[in-house]
Structure 1
Amino acid sequence: MRYQNGMAMTLRLTADEDRALALLASAWGCSKQEAARRSVVTAAARMLDDASVAALARTHSETYAATEARIRQARGSQG
């Protein structure tokens, strides 16, 4: 994977948060660790106007790329 040289951290979750993460992982067909990474990147891309975050989201999240494409298409049909 791409994260061999990444930063390590411990993520403490409540039982409900862990269940939500497990559901995300199941929906995405990935590990909870990967689901947490995707969630961070996706949330950052949605909230921040930052080109490097958007590029990272496109690389790591098929869902984000599909959503971005739909938004671009909708914006194009409005103008």
Structure 2
Amino acid sequence: MAIGSKGLTPSDLDGMDNERLAEELAKAKAELLNLRFAAATGQLEDHGRVKAVRRDIARIYTIVNERELGIRTAPVKK
């Protein structure tokens, strides 16, 4: 089973435009920051969530980087 959030699979991310990817990236980074604070204060209950969010961020960066290199294309707006 893949580790990560539902809705952030590579095929789902491939269907998002660049602005939506930037929003998802900002949301994931904010969640990771909150998880780190919770871990530091001893309030974190689901330690696997940190790993999942880190992988989500890496997936988003991969899609963005591949689009910049021309490996993937952004979806066409209708």
State whether TM-score is above 0.5. no
TM-score, normalised to structure 2's length?
0.31
TM-score, normalised to structure 1's length?
0.30
Report which structure shows greater RCO (CA 8 Å, sep ≥6).
2
More helix by share: 1
